[in-house]
Each structure stands twice: as structure tokens, then as C-alpha cells.
Amino acid sequence: MKINDALFGVVFVLVASAILITVQSFPTLPDQPYGPATFPTIIATIMMLGGIALCISGYRERAHQPLIRLAAVMKTRDGLVRMACVPVFMVLYILLSKPVGFPIVVPVLLAAFLTITTRKWLISVIIAAATTTLLWLFFVDFLMVSLPLGILTQVIY
């Protein structure tokens, strides 16, 4: 899918405007020319300038391409199913991760997603198990972020 730069430019300008409006309410530091709003203001200004540049670029390209152009695969049933799987699996993870647990939900969802997209279930299961293990080790052991255990809480503790 190809989206015209002007659409992204409008989004950037809107987000930058919201940031600039929000940071106006940040407190100032006494006897300081800068405060908590300084860095977000700089970033939002750069975002706004980039967004304006994208709008200009997209406006110039509008004669050569439509605002949104779908790839050929997006016009097929399989392409639509694959595209719909991403938000569906994200919502399923959000709903199931706490009650069921990360070590159970992630490999199942990942294996299902990979099987739908590649149609090779054995490789999908192996990749899902390995990826879940690596994610668990990285987040829990290295970053020390607790991931939900869900029903495994009683088994492990």
C-alpha cells in the first residue's frame, strides 16, 4: 500500500500542533530561560516543519499518484485476511495475556499468525516457540520487566 506523503504530513502537523498546545501548560522554572516544555517544543517544531515538507512533496506528487494506492496483494481475499490478522491478534493478546499468560498466549498467537501468512505450520511453531523464549529472556531476565504469567502463576509460584 502506498500512501501519499501529504496525508502523513497532515498527521505530523496535527500531532505537532497538539504537542505545542499541550506544552504551553507546562510550568516554567524560576530564573531559567528553559523548562520542561523546551525539549517537546523543539521536537514538535521539527515535526511540524517535516510535516509541512511532506505536505508540499505530496501535493507535487498528486498528479502522478492517488492519495492511497493499494498493492495487488491487498485486493485479494488472502491479502485482506492477512491484513486483518494483525489488529485481531493484537486485541487477542491484550485480552488474553493477563488471564492466560504471556508464555501461553504469545506462542499460540504467533504460530497462528505465521501459519496464516506462510502456510508452513511446522516452521511457524518452531519460530513462535523460539521467539517467545527469546522475548521472555530479554524482557524478564535482561530488562527485568515482569510479563504476565496468568494461569502459570500457581504452577511456578
Whether the predicted model's global pTM rises above the 0.85 cut:
no
pLDDT band at 53; cut points 50, 70, 90: very high
Report the C-alpha dihedral over residues 77, 79, 84, 85, rounded to 10 degrees: 110
pLDDT band at 27; cut points 50, 70, 90: confident
Q: CA geometry: angle at 103 spanning 157 and 100, to 5°?
A: 75
Cα 4 to Cα 113: distance, rounded to the nearest angstrom: 29
pLDDT band at 43; cut points 50, 70, 90: very high
The answer to whether the CB of 62 falls within 8 A of the CB of 68 is no
Cα 14 to Cα 28: distance, rounded to the nearest angstrom: 25
